[in-house]
Amino acid sequence: MTSWWKITKFAVIFLLAILVWIFFIGISSNQSGSYFNKGHNAIWIGHAWVGEEKSYNEIKDLVDTLEKHEIDTVFVHTGPLNYDGNVDPEIYKYAISFLDQAKELNNNIEYQSWLGQIRRKINLSDKEVRINIAKLSSMLTQMIGFDGIHFDIEPVWDDDLDFIELLKDTREMMPDNKKISVALAEFIPKSVINFTEAIHEFENYNSEVNYLNVAEYADQIVVMAYDTGLDSDWLYKSLLEEQTIWLTDLTQDAEIFVGIPAYEDQKESFDPDVENIFNALHGVINGLNNIRSDKDNFAGIAIYPYWEMDVHEWQDFYDIWIK
């Protein structure tokens, strides 16, 4: 009887350990980046592409680079938004020419108008401002030829319901075949926020609340997984791994892109020796290999930005993610 009880007790403990491992740590495979790459990756490009006249060869070089690295979604800086929600057409006066030439070279690549602003500089509680942005978005997609609108208004947070109203207003004015994408800060689970609020109060944050609110109106969400202040490779890889797991499992309503950094800024919140293409890709791949992630909801990688990518970073991206 005693022996049977010991065996049963051991079996129960062993089973519980397996369940904890599966649901909190996860079973992992060992697939390479190319296994998860769907050829549906994104990149942010600078304002000069629509603010200055570009030659055919310059545009062709851009498109060739996108094709080689299986990037089919491009966020083209068109703003910034003015305080009233408008953008002077003069600053994107070459947009039609750029889009025409780029699409003639490859019609399978989508170009979204990237509209950004510092959140405190724009009053989204003002209905007129929101409607101006929605009208601008409709015009940029229907008349200029963009395939969608990419909002990068920072920071937005769980309680920023005016931003959600902006998405709603924009969705109502835009055709169904035009996409809305949104760049958001890293995901922090609400449970973590509640657990730590006694010792650390977050000024603003994006928990499942904001991600799910945004997903109701956006087709794509890009998590900006950089500027973390982390100072070690394994910590940054671990963060990217968990962001990939959490966000792909969170919602089926919007595609999830993981934004990774290519810039070299030295500042308190960013160390390029830690936060870089190489480490970020390995973190994402680790996340996708974990059984807790939802591969079907993962769209791809988003590189920030195009103008900072050098030959070594392109090689890392190709070797780790595509080859």
CB 225 within 8 A of CB 280: yes
In a domain, 50, yes or no: yes
In the predicted structure, residue 183 carries a pLDDT above the cut 60? yes
Count the alpha carbons within 13 Å of 37 in the hemisphere toward its beta carbon.
21
* b/e burial code for range 221-258 (CB count within 10 A of at least 16 → b): bbbbbbbbebeebeebbebbbbbbbbbbebbeebbbbb
Domain count for the chain: 1
In a domain, 22, yes or no: no
In the predicted structure, residue 293 carries a pLDDT above the cut 70? yes
What pLDDT is recorded for position 5?
Answer: 46
In a domain, 63, yes or no: yes
Q: What is the mean pLDDT of the chain?
A: 92
Alpha carbon distances (Å) from 128 to 31, 122, 133, 158, 237 = 50, 12, 9, 23, 43
pLDDT band at 200 (very low <50, low <70, confident <90, very high): confident
The CATH code of the domain that includes 263 is 3.20.20.80
In a domain, 313, yes or no: yes
Could you read off the pLDDT of 1-54 as tens digits, one per residue?
444 443 444 334 434 443 444 445 567 789 999 999 999 999 999 999 999 999
What is the average per-residue pLDDT within 87-99? 98
Could you read off the pLDDT of 206-224 as tens digits, one per residue?
999 999 999 999 999 999 9
In a domain, 256, yes or no: yes
Domain span at residue 305? 40-322
pTM of this structure: 0.92
In a domain, 189, yes or no: yes
pLDDT band at 196 (very low <50, low <70, confident <90, very high): confident
In a domain, 35, yes or no: no
In the predicted structure, residue 126 carries a pLDDT above the cut 70? yes
